[in-house]
Structure 1
Amino acid sequence: MANLNDDNSPASSMTEKVNTNIITLTRFLTEEQAKHKEATGDFTLLCHALQFSFKSIAYYIRRSTLINLTGLAGSANITGDDQKKLDVISNDLFIEAMRSSGKCALLVSEEEENIIFFGKVPVPDAGVSVGTIFGIHKLPDDSKGTKEDILKPGSELLAAGFTMYGASAQLVITMKGGTVNGFTLDNGLGEFILSHPNMRLPSSRAIYSVNEGNSLYWAEEVKSYFNSLKEPQNDGKPYSARYIGSMVADAYRTLLYGGIFAYPADKKSPKGKLRILYECAPMAMVFENAGGQAVDSNMKRMLDIVPADIHDRSGIFMGSFDEVERVKTFHKA
């Protein structure tokens, strides 16, 4: 048996490089707050509450099969989707985290029919499934916390992002006019660590992500666009198709590698399938801040769309700047 204190032992001959300059989400938020003299710390405190809920959800997802949290919960959410047990628990965790933060005035979730009022300051919007998408609005000083306060275009978002759960949870966050930064949850440390600073989309990439099972119901310009991707391009190859079926997972891959993600409106869902307030708008902010674009099925900028109600829906095309420009040409034609 080798002596661990022996300079010639195998252990001593192996040098492990330890990164001591770790940027956690907590450190990142604190340093960002310090850059703004007018900052009150309210936004940072709210983000700490968000962070705790994401860590909790990630923990329960990792243990889900051990504690019988898989399968259906026997009810449906307001938008008609069957609720998974994890969806229900995640929703409850999220609500309590926001309530206890003392910095959340009202919350909108796809699992709740009505707005949840807390009576404090900012406003997050959340939807929980295989990932969590969130957007944060700041209420005006004279606001009394009403429904009208949340029916705003995405261009007024203070911050937005999403978390994707798996073997390790990934958190992407951006602030108005800022960069997009990705964090990975280190399960050993129990902290989100900055792993993808200043994320930028390539201007184009021959990858598309869409549910082609709905193609029978698409408008002709949508069919023409996706059919064009299956033809040989300038390099002699067609686009590659990548589709998981989770907006968070498909959007995260598109954000990393470029290309286009789409969920267009169709004959079955004339307004679209995804919710503007807590799915489309936050994702659009992330993609625009990373150098991409996001538009609805009428080719209008997604961040300019004002939802008619808290669960209002829309079609969406988002991804690399040039790829979205290509979508627009087919709709102009």
Structure 2
Amino acid sequence: MDERVTLRSHLDRSASRTPRGDAVAAVIEAIAAATVDLAALIADGPLAGITGQDGGINADGDRQKDIDVAADEMMRLALADAPVAAVLSEEAALPETLNPQAPLCVAIDPLDGSANLENNISVGTIFSIRPRGNDILSTFFEPGTAQCAAGFVVYGPQTTLVLAHDESVDIFILNRHTEQFLLIKQGVKIAPDTPEFAINASNRRHWYGPVRAYIDECLAGTNGDRGADFNMRWIGSLVAESLRILVRGGVFLYPADARPGYREGRLRLLYEAHPMALVMEWAGGAATTGRRRILELGAKTPHQRVPLIMGSVRGVRDVSAIHEGIEPMFDNSDAPLFARRGLFR
């Protein structure tokens, strides 16, 4: 018999210490229960009728797959019975009101990275929980510091839940036999300085100057200003990249670049960048656009996109320092002067 702490008992212990503790715990449990069913559906895939075919276009212009639609329905159904005033999903244009008098609102990406499934690469669910304001819609436009909990689930070799709650980041793994999440790591802290970075290097020609400068310095290894040989990782799955940072450290970069549709960044602020930033900061790391702390940003639209640079404190600090040393108007400059100004110590 497994004697590890269950998610439910873990939440029960902290409920009395946190504002709206019982309500937050109920929402987390509802999401976790839905992910158990979603994990089984993903694992069965074609055997359960999931073909991976396109299911249309979502509200933000991205192609949906049939599994995206199924995941969205599962999460909405689970949250309908939780103390949630409204839910904003990646798959809907606007927040859906559930129970206007409930104390919490949820922003969620029901299934992040569904295109990876055909290659059997890890995908996930990302969620953000915040207190409901007097006006439900405006609740979603408050800065990320308003979040009271956030987290993500990775559907991979194990189904892993990473939870930022009660100012701690804890990791749970699903026991498939009992269908319970069990605590395996508590109070996770990101290594402050790991010589490892993750970025899609095929887009280098589109990057703005500060990002190119930082990556070039990493690639220079011990011959460059970084003074260390760096490893590069790129899974192409946000949840898998984030879990690796929690375990190993390093920095993840999904910057804005010069391509149409990428100039303001690509990841969504409310249900990707905000929750990941809370996880990173509560685990002792950092998250920025390059120029601004992610948690200080408030959304202007439900599906606003932003750049995201997150992970170990030193890596994020160094990327930010380069941005600070270059005027925004020169971000896309190739001039050597601007490419190196921010690296001066």
TM surpasses 0.5: yes
Aligned equivalent of 1:251: 242
Contact 2:288 2:310 in 1 (8 A): yes
Q: Distance in 2 between matches of 1:149 and 1:161?
A: 18
Task: Report the counterpart of residue 140 of structure 2 in structure 1.
Answer: 150
Aligned to 1:315, which of 307, 316, 322?
A: 307
- Residue of structure 2 equivalent to 1:167: 157
> In structure 2, which of residues 48, 57, 60 is the aligned counterpart of residue 79 of structure 1?
60
Per-residue CA deviations over 1:233-283 (Å, capped at 9, x if unaligned) read 289753111101111111111111000001001111111000001100110
Aligned to 1:270, the other structure's residue is in SS state coil
- Superposed, which structure 2 residues align to 1:49-198 within 5 Å? 49-101=30-82, 103-118=83-98, 119=100, 120-127=102-109, 128-129=111-112, 130-140=123-133, 143-145=134-136, 147-175=137-165, 178-198=167-187
**Structural RMSD (CA):** 1.7
Query: Runs of 4+ in structure 1 displaced over 6 angstroms?
Result: none
Q: Which residue of 1 aligns with 2:15?
A: 33
Secondary structure of the 2:193 match is coil
In structure 2, distance between residues paired with 1:167 and 1:259: 22
> Is the contact made by 2:285 and 2:312 (CA closer than 8 Å) also made in structure 1?
yes
* Larger displacement relative to structure 2 (27-36 or 179-188): 27-36
Q: Is the 8 A contact 1:72 1:82 kept in 2?
A: no
State, as a whole percentage, how many aligned pairs show the same letter.
29
Secondary structure in structure 1 of the residue aligned to 2:276 = helix
Q: Quote how far apart the aligned CAs of 1:320 are.
A: 0.3
For residues 179-328 of structure 1, the aligned pairs below 5 Å read 179-233=168-222, 238-268=229-259, 269-297=262-290, 299-328=291-320
Q: Given residue 287 of structure 1, which amino acid in structure 2 is its aligned partner?
A: M
8 Å CA contact 1:168, 1:187 repeated in 2 = no
Partners of 1:328 and 1:39 in 2: CA distance: 35
Which residue of the partner structure matches residue 7 of structure 1?
A: none
Match of 1:9 in 2: none
User: TM-score scaled to structure 2, two decimals?
Assistant: 0.85
Structure 1 gaps of 5+ residues are: 1-17
Change (3 A) 1:236 1:74: same
Structure 1 residues 67 and 295: alpha-carbon distance in aligned structure 2, compared to 1, 3 A threshold: same
1:43 maps to amino acid? V
More helix by proportion, 1 or 2? Answer: 2
Instruction: Give 3-state SS (helix, strand or coil) of 1:63's partner.
Output: helix
Which amino acid is the alignment partner of residue 179 of structure 2?
G
Return the letter of the residue paired with 2:318: R
Relative to the length of structure 1, the TM-score reads 0.88
Secondary structure at 2:220's aligned position in 1?
Answer: coil
Q: How many residues were matched structurally?
A: 308
Change (3 A) 1:270 1:287: same
